[in-house]
Amino acid sequence: MEKEKQTEETKIQDESLRDKVQRAIKTVYDPEIPVDIYELGLIYEINIYPVNNVFVLMTLTSPSCPAAETIPSEVEQKLKKIEGVNNVKVEITFDPPYSTEMMSEVAKLELGFL
């Protein structure tokens, strides 16, 4: 019973940290597009591991994206500022390749795709 309670509390803590991570990511923008990278669909995966280690798997709009150096490092810096976060790893992948279909409806509306 005690173990179940700890597991539920851990889930609640993880969820709130996940929410903080998601909110922080939503403050990062591609400098050429007026929509945050989360709504653009550039974030493929967010994992919270024990001891509050955060892993983010993301992509860029293209392999030759001019902000390829700055966007991942900005994500990492913002996540490291979250209270309680231990280590942060941001990994870039181009599999699957990015397409506008990955955008949220909010992003599509903002950019005139709807």
Within 10 A of 111 (CB to CB), how many other CB atoms are there?
Answer: 15
Of the pLDDT bands very low, low, confident and very high (cuts 50, 70, 90), residue 13 is: low
* Cα within 13 Å of Cα(74), Cβ side: 15
Phi/psi for 87 (5° steps) reads -105, 150
The structural domains of the chain, ordered by start, are 2-110 (3.30.300.130)
| H-assigned helices in 1-114 | 2-25, 37-40, 70-80, 105-110
Q: pLDDT tens across 35-78, in order?
A: 999 999 999 999 999 999 999 999 999 888 888 889 999 999 99
Cis omega (within 30 of 0) for bond into 97: no
Q: pLDDT tens across 18-44, in order?
A: 999 999 999 999 888 899 999 999 999
